[in-house]
């Protein structure tokens, strides 16, 4: 019985989802690639470095969420209009804050993210040299 | 009844665990108190019985899940009688309480194994090791009994269970968490060894040999656990990604990085009696990272796709445990580190120097991952929301990983203690040439980014370099442990090759097609034959039939979009098709109107090598562990026989 009902439900889903109005679907670039492969590659790279705000730890390039779809549409539209990746990222950061970008700037409030590994490198080299010098 | 037996076993195991800690610790003072000498003798049997009891408790839990006993709260809230039996059982550790029970069972069993089998070290050191294990275990028992009792009954049995997250109803779940936990527990055993050796001043090659199988074992399990998780995410999440730099993934990567460094350092200590403080320090770090990993996973403190078991209160408990253990370990280290000398010295051109350099690089990568994972948390505490993701981790960790790969290529052909650069210059030039040629060829032939190309070049270099230690050796007399190293290093090359080619040369096609229409992706032509509804045991689905051809005989692939009833959730079931040079990855998206369906298609060259490589790595680690255990066994027998012969000679004379 449960199986039968489930089957019916699936059928219903299949029918109802194919009845979604065309206009809304066709204009969206959420799941449609740009015709220019260079632009599409640029958009793809950008999408992979933007956070889906309603998901948990997913970029907008790999999420089914509506928010991610809207943002993918936005990125593709702007790339198509010839905006640079930085412009689009900045535009989004202005609206949603640093949280939306997976790639924090070197210059800006998040400089420790880059300074600390640099420091680690120096400490590592110092440690290594000290061990060797201790020999003689 | 089963639930009560399980709970009783858990309580008794907890009591024995405390006893193991107290007797082992008291035995340390036995040189001053002569009556105390006997008390330490209880430690080993306590560890063995504790292991059996903890295992009993876990088996009881498995049984409750297998028969879906809905009067038990945990079963009622995580299982469902309609689920297939396999997922009923794996569901036992797919939740917080169950996973902590698994953790404790594995940990207690390791203690039992040490108690029953470990004979190499002085008795006092073993007792101290078991005491340390008792101390770590006691915290976990307090945690599980106090705040996450898996055997709690419901006042009235539930009519039906609440089900299990459908993402978790998968073979990946049967495999991924237990292997990771075994890795974490193995590192806690290594930590106990470190504490025991520190307290009894026994940081010796013998200690390193006794600890090594545990480190190697932990490392093998972590490798398998991480790659199983990555494979699972790859085919289950439906977007073709295999590593997301998600906090929970990082939580398993960090102990692996520390364990990798530790395992090389332990090898130096066992073979050369050098790097004593290093080894001890890395033991502490590796354990801290596995505790931190548990904290991140179990508390859900960092937003993550994995936070199935979010509970801030429990997080606070683990955070306190974490602070006590790590703080205690570091304090002990600071207190006793001065008493160990660094051990034997070595030159710049020596295998030890190469290992130290790479250990430092591994620790630096660990630092980067740790920083990137915790930074958003710190920033949030300061009132700022920041995301740190793939672009950061990839580029910053590469700064340390690339030099590491270069040294890794020549390290194994260097001699211990002192070598001359001249001896290996031929090999080094050959390897450099291979790398440069690969890089330039990739540069000219494709438009891939710098990092994938560098990855490809280093994969080629390491592939050749990994087998160089076998050059001019008698293959039949090469020790098993050396074969293990060769295999593990080759596995790194293979994995790296897979990662580089996937990230550099993947192709993507998004298409909306109706039945009969086609889309092209990589070497393939994909034709939609139709989309039909389908029902499974506890789900319904829409299944697309796709005819896939690369010019030869077409194959039919069936990706699904599944809807689970209990609980309600939709998942994508990707369909994969392998060719010798890569994998086709197809996903059915939403209906696009007008009878068309969205298809997401990826062509991923050599992507499967990522996981085949990690199987090689794990196999190599396992071979090394077996090889070392066998050699150690043989050596001990030899020593015993020599002693007997000497005694006989003395008796004759």
- Ordered per-residue pLDDT tens for chain A, 136 residues: 454 545 445 544 444 444 444 344 446 788 888 888 889 989 988 998 999 888 777 888 888 888 888 899 999 999 999 899 999 999 998 888 888 888 888 888 888 899 999 998 898 888 888 777 654 4
Cβ neighbours of residue B532 under 8 Å, at least 6 residues apart? B542, B543, B545
| Burial profile A23-62: b = 16 or more Cβ within 10 angstroms, e = fewer | eebeebbbbbbbeeeebbebbbebbbbbbbbebbbbbbbb
Q: Kindly report the nearest CA distance between residue A67 and chain B, in angstroms.
A: 15
Q: Two tokens at B557?
A: 């692939």
pTM: 0.90
ipTM confidence score = 0.80
B363 contacts on A by Cβ (under 8 Å): 124
CB-based contact B396 A55, cutoff 8 Å:
no
Q: Within 13 Å, how many C-alpha atoms sit on residue B152's CB side?
A: 15
B512 three-state secondary structure: strand
CB-based contact B244 A128, cutoff 8 Å:
no
**The pLDDT value given to residue B230:** 92
Please indicate, yes or no, if residue B526 is contained in any of the structural domains.
yes
Please indicate, yes or no, if residue B65 is contained in any of the structural domains.
yes
Across A23-37, A100-114, B109-123, B463-477, least confident range: A23-37
Helix (H) or strand (E) holding B484, with range, is: helix B480-505
Q: Two tokens at B405?
A: 């790969």
Helix (H) or strand (E) holding B64, with range, is: helix B43-66
Longest dimension (CA), chain B: 102
- Name the domain boundary from B169, B194, B226: B169
Whether residue B535 lies within 8 A of chain A, CB to CB, comes out as yes
- Name the domain boundary from B101, B136, B169: B169
pLDDT, tens digit, 9 for 90 and up, residues B434-445: 999 999 999 998
Looking at chain B, the whole-number percentage of residues with pLDDT higher than 70 is 94
Mutation test of the interface with chain A: which of B244, B369, B374, B386, choosing the one with the most A Cβ atoms within 10 A?
B386
Instruction: Read off φ and ψ for residue B512, nearest 5 degrees.
Output: -115, 110
Higher pLDDT, B296 or B335: B335
- Of all residues in chain B, the one with the smallest CA distance to A106 is B392
CB-based contact A62 B240, cutoff 8 Å:
yes
CB contact residues (below 8 A), chain B span 334-353, against chain A: 342, 345-348, 353
Of B58, B49, B47, B45, the residue nearest B10 (C-alpha): B58
Q: At what angle do helices A66-80 and A85-96 cross, to 10 degrees?
A: 140
Please indicate, yes or no, if residue B189 is contained in any of the structural domains.
no
Q: Two tokens at A63?
A: 């999420």
B387 contacts on A by Cβ (under 8 Å): 51, 98-102, 104
B650 three-state secondary structure: helix
A61 contacts on B by Cβ (under 8 Å): 239
CB contact residues (below 8 A), chain B span 82-101, against chain A: 82
- Name the domain boundary from B563, B588, B605: B605
Please indicate, yes or no, if residue B326 is contained in any of the structural domains.
no
Of B391, B535, B594, the CB nearest to A7: B535
Please indicate, yes or no, if residue B271 is contained in any of the structural domains.
no
B385 contacts on A by Cβ (under 8 Å): 97-99
**Number of structural domains found in chain B:** 2
Cβ neighbours of residue B650 under 8 Å, at least 6 residues apart? none
CB-based contact A33 B307, cutoff 8 Å:
no
Q: Two tokens at B652?
A: 């004759």
Of B510, B535, B593, the CB nearest to A32: B510
Q: Kindly report the nearest CA distance between residue A92 and chain B, in angstroms.
A: 13
Please indicate, yes or no, if residue B356 is contained in any of the structural domains.
no
A131 contacts on B by Cβ (under 8 Å): 342, 356
B540 contacts on A by Cβ (under 8 Å): 6-7, 9-10, 13
Residue that the structure tokens 């040629």 belong to? B437
- The residue-averaged pLDDT of B456-481 equals 90
For B105, the domain range is 1-169
- Dist CA B419 CA B423 (whole Å): 8
| Burial profile B255-267: b = 16 or more Cβ within 10 angstroms, e = fewer | bbbbbbbbbbbbb
A134 contacts on B by Cβ (under 8 Å): 342, 345
Full 3-state SS string of B283-298: HHHHHHHHHHHHHHHH
Please indicate, yes or no, if residue B174 is contained in any of the structural domains.
no
- The residue-averaged pLDDT of B611-624 equals 96
Please indicate, yes or no, if residue B33 is contained in any of the structural domains.
yes
Average pLDDT over chain B, rounded to whole? 87
**The pLDDT value given to residue B381:** 77
Higher pLDDT, A106 or B525: B525
């Amino acid at each position: 019985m449960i199986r039968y009902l489930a089957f019916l439900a699936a059928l219903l889903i299949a029918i109802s989802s194919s009845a979604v109005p065309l206009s809304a679907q066709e204009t969206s670039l959420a799941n449609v690639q740009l015709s220019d492969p260079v632009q599409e590659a640029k958009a793809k790279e950008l999408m992979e470095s933007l956070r889906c705000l309603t998901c948990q730890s997913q970029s907008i390039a790999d999420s089914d969420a509506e928010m991610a779809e809207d943002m993918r549409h936005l990125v593709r539209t702007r790339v198509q209009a010839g905006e640079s990746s930085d412009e689009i990222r900045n535009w989004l950061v202005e609206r949603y804050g640093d949280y939306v970008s997976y790639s924090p700037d070197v210059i800006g409030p998040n400089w420790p993210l880059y300074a600390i590994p640099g420091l680690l490198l120096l400490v590592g080299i110092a440690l290594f040299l000290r061990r060797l010098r201790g020999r003689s | 009844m089963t639930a009560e037996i399980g709970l009783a076993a858990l309580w008794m195991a907890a009591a024995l665990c405390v006893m193991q800690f107290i007797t082992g610790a008291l035995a340390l003072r036995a040189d001053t108190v002569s009556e105390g000498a006997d008390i330490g003798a209880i430690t080993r049997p306590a560890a063995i019985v504790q292991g059996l009891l903890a295992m009993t408790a876990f088996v009881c839990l498995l049984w409750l899940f297998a028969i879906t006993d809905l009067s038990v709260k945990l079963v009622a809230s995580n299982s469902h009688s309609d689920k297939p039996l396999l997922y009923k059982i794996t569901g036992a550790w797919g939740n917080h309480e169950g996973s902590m029970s698994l953790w404790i069972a594995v940990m207690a069993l390791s203690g039992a194994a040490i108690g029953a089998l470990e004979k190499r070290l002085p008795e006092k050191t073993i007792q101290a090791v078991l005491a340390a294990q008792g101390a770590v275990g006691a915290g976990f028992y307090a945690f599980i009994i106090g705040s996450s009792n898996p055997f709690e009954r419901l006042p009235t049995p539930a009519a039906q269970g609440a089900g299990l997250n459908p993402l978790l109803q998968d073979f990946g779940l049967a495999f991924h968490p237990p292997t990771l936990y075994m890795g974490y527990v193995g590192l806690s055993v290594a930590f106990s060894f470190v504490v025991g050796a520190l307290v009894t001043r026994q940081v010796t090659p013998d200690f390193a040999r006794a600890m090594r199988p545990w480190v190697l074992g932990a490392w093998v399990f972590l490798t398998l656990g991480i790659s199983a998780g990555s494979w699972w995410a790859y085919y289950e999440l439906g977007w073709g990604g295999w590593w997301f730099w998600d906090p929970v993934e990082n939580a398993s990567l960090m102990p692996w990085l520390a364990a990798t460094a530790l395992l090389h350092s332990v090898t130096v200590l066992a073979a050369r009696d050098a790097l004593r403080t290093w080894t001890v320090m890395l033991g502490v770090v590796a354990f801290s990272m596995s505790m931190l990993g548990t904290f991140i996973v179990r508390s859900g403190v960092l937003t993550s796709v994995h936070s199935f078991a979010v509970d801030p209160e429990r997080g606070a408990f683990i955070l306190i445990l974490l602070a006590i253990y790590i703080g205690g370990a570091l304090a002990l280290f600071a207190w006793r580190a001065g008493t160990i000398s660094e051990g034997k010295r070595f030159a710049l051109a020596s295998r030890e120097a190469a290992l130290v350099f790479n250990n430092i690089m591994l620790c630096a990568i660990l630092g980067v991952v740790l920083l990137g994972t915790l930074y958003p948390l710190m920033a949030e505490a300061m009132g700022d929301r920041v995301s740190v993701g793939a672009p950061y981790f990839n580029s910053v960790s590469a700064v340390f990983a690339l030099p590491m790969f270069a040294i890794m290529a020549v390290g194994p052909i260097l001699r211990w203690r002192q070598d001359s650069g001249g001896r290996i210059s031929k090999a080094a030039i050959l390897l450099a040439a291979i790398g440069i040629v690969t890089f330039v060829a990739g540069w000219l032939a494709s438009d891939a980014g710098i990092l994938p190309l560098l990855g490809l070049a280093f994969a080629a270099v390491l592939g050749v370099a990994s087998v160089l230690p076998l050059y001019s050796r008698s293959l039949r007399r090469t020790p098993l442990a050396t074969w293990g190293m060769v295999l593990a290093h080759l596995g790194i090359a293979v994995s790296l090759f897979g990662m580089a080619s996937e990230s550099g040369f993947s192709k993507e096609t998004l298409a909306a097609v109706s039945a009969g229409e086609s889309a092209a992706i990589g070497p393939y032509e994909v034709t939609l034959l139709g989309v039909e509804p389908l029902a499974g045991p506890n789900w319904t689905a829409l299944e697309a039939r796709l005819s896939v051809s690369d010019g030869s005989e077409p194959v039919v692939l069936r990706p699904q979009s599944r809807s689970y009833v209990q609980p309600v959730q939709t998942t994508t079931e990707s369909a994969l098709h392998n060719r010798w040079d890569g994998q086709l990855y197809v996903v059915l998206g939403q209906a696009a109107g007008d009878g068309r369906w969205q298809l997401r298609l990826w062509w991923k060259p050599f992507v499967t090598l990522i996981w085949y490589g990690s199987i090689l790595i794990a196999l190599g680690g396992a071979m090394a562990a077996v090889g070392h255990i066998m050699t150690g066994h043989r050596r001990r027998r030899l020593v015993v026989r020599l002693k007997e012969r000497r005694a006989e000679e003395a008796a004759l004379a």
